[in-house]
Amino acid sequence: MSQNVIRIATRKSPLALWQAEFVKAELEKFHPGLTVELLPMSTKGDIILDTPLAKVGGKGLFVKELEIAMLDGRADIAVHSIKDVPVDFPDGLGLEVICEREDPRDAFVSNDYKSIDDLPKGAVVGTSSLRRQCQIRAMRPDLKITDLRGNVGTRLGKLDAGNYDAIILAAAGLKRLKLEERISSFISAEESLPANGQGAVGIECRTDDERVKALLAPLEHTETRYRVTAERAMNTHLQGGCQVPIGAFAEIQGDTLTLRGLVGNPDGSKIITGTSVGPKTDAKAIGITLAKELLSKGAKEILDAVYIK
């Protein structure tokens, strides 16, 4: 492959394409003369649209086809929402770069109501995320949570068609697509803990490709890397897939990283939370410590009930 070309494997959704174009622009900014090409592809997660994600099964629904393209040499890198990337990688591939995080919060979107508190009794809220469902149910057991799949535009269309009183989406996706004015209110991390990596974009590539790794290096954002490392370490140690509500959110003040975590039941009847603090350079250990704490406080029973093997 030519020394001066990088090919990006990407999903075709508007958000995925925005993220790929963002990485293309950053690469071209840092490396004048470099040609960056997009290779748009469909993934299993894009094709199976009629089933709740937690039931489609299999990890990495949105990334596998992109990984095969990199291993085949058809593409050099893949740009992902970190949230959609499984914690372990196929041999020969790794998450080389984590870019600066956008807003990590969930957003409440409604044409009639300002916030979750504002919703009338029994209102219908659309989300396919068990994590969001769990935390909303815990706040408001009276609400009816129904499934909502599709890319960001499709989901907004379903809200506008009157299928829901409100829907919950990641603020980052709406901001990137210049749809921020659709946000009625932000849901703070105190109200609902985000998913690990939410709002952060990561770049995967072949671990032995020194040329590509050198080109990608200026896109790395150190603080986001620490935060995402802690959040993903917690998930890895819990061995939680997408069938269990899990939230993880790290913040950094000075050199200190504070990680908050949550494991719950889909119906919100049981929620285990915890916090772990330490030097940011110990991000991974902080994540593991918190996972152990959550397991000992009852998360193990919740996970075991879901994953009966």
Ligand X SMILES: NCc1[nH]cc(CCC(=O)O)c1CC(=O)O
Residues numbered 192-221 forming contacts with ligand X, rule: CB under 6 A? 198-199
Size of the site for ligand X (CB under 6 A): 9
Q: Which residues contact 55 (CB under 8 A, 6 or more apart)?
A: none
Furthest-apart CA atoms within the chain: distance in Å: 61
247 binds ligand X per the rule CB under 6 A: no
79 binds ligand X per the rule CB under 6 A: no
- The nearer residue to ligand X, 43 or 81, going by C-beta atoms, is 81
Applying CB under 6 A, among 43, 81, 110, 135 the residue interacting with ligand X is 81
84 binds ligand X per the rule CB under 6 A: yes
CB atoms within 10 A of CB 242: 23
173 binds ligand X per the rule CB under 6 A: yes
- The nearer residue to ligand X, 219 or 295, going by C-beta atoms, is 219
Whether 255 is catalytic: no
- The nearer residue to ligand X, 173 or 266, going by C-beta atoms, is 173
83 binds ligand X per the rule CB under 6 A: yes
- The nearer residue to ligand X, 128 or 276, going by C-beta atoms, is 128
Residues numbered 130-169 forming contacts with ligand X, rule: CB under 6 A? 169
**Contact (Cβ atoms closer than 8 angstroms) between residue 119 and residue 166:** yes
The Cα-based distances of 43 to 68, 83, 155, 177 in angstroms read: 11, 16, 19, 21
Fill in the amino acid letter for 120.
P
* Least distance CB 163 / ligand X (angstroms): 16
Backbone angles phi, psi at 78, to 5 degrees: -130, 140
Strands (DSSP E) along 3-157, which ranges? 5-11, 35-41, 77-81, 93-98, 106-109, 124-126, 144-146
d(C-alpha 262, C-alpha 175), whole Å: 26
Q: Which residues contact 93 (CB under 8 A, 6 or more apart)?
A: 67, 70, 71, 204, 205, 206, 207
9 binds ligand X per the rule CB under 6 A: no
3-state secondary structure (DSSP) of residue 176: helix
Applying CB under 6 A, among 170, 216, 246, 257 the residue interacting with ligand X is 170
> Which one of the spans 76-84, 212-220, 234-242, 246-254 is the region binding ligand X (CB under 6 A)?
76-84
63 binds ligand X per the rule CB under 6 A: no
Catalytic residue among 84, 106, 165, 209: 84
> Which one of the spans 77-85, 114-122, 138-146, 277-285 is the region binding ligand X (CB under 6 A)?
77-85
Fill in the amino acid letter for 276.
S
Site residues, ligand X (CB under 6 A)? 81, 83-84, 169-170, 172-173, 198-199
- Active-site positions read 84
